[in-house]
Amino acid sequence: MADEHRLGEMSFMTVAEVAAVMRVSKMTVYRLVHSGELPSVRVGRSFRVPEKAVTAYLEDSYHGTA
């Protein structure tokens, strides 16, 4: 397994934490998770989102001003 994929070194965020960082509702985060736009891991009835996935999503979605 590659070093960058070691689960013990991964940091996960709750849906509420992702929503706070992105300044959107939890429902918006759930939509992103269910559509596959934001990778997640299901833990029981909850979802956890890798912190790196949130960073990557925001970087890919960023639209700078001219």
10 Å Cβ neighbour count for 9? 8
**What phi and psi, each to the nearest 5 degrees, are found at residue 22?**
-85, -10
Confidence of residue 64 (pLDDT cuts 50, 70, 90): low
Could you tell me the CATH number of the domain that includes residue 7? 1.10.1660
Query: Has residue 30 been placed in a domain?
Result: yes
| Domain around 18 | 3-61
Q: Specify the pLDDT at position 38.
A: 97
Query: Has residue 66 been placed in a domain?
Result: no
For the whole model, what pTM was predicted?
0.80
Total tally of structural domains belonging to the chain: 1
Q: Specify the pLDDT at position 66.
A: 56
> Do residues 14 and 46 make contact, with C-beta atoms less than 8 angstroms apart?
yes
How many Cα atoms sit within 13 Å of 30 on the Cβ side? 6
The pLDDT tens digits of the residues spanning 14-58 come to 999 999 999 999 999 999 999 999 999 999 999 999 999 999 999
Query: Has residue 57 been placed in a domain?
Result: yes
Query: Has residue 38 been placed in a domain?
Result: yes
Query: Has residue 42 been placed in a domain?
Result: yes
Query: Has residue 32 been placed in a domain?
Result: yes
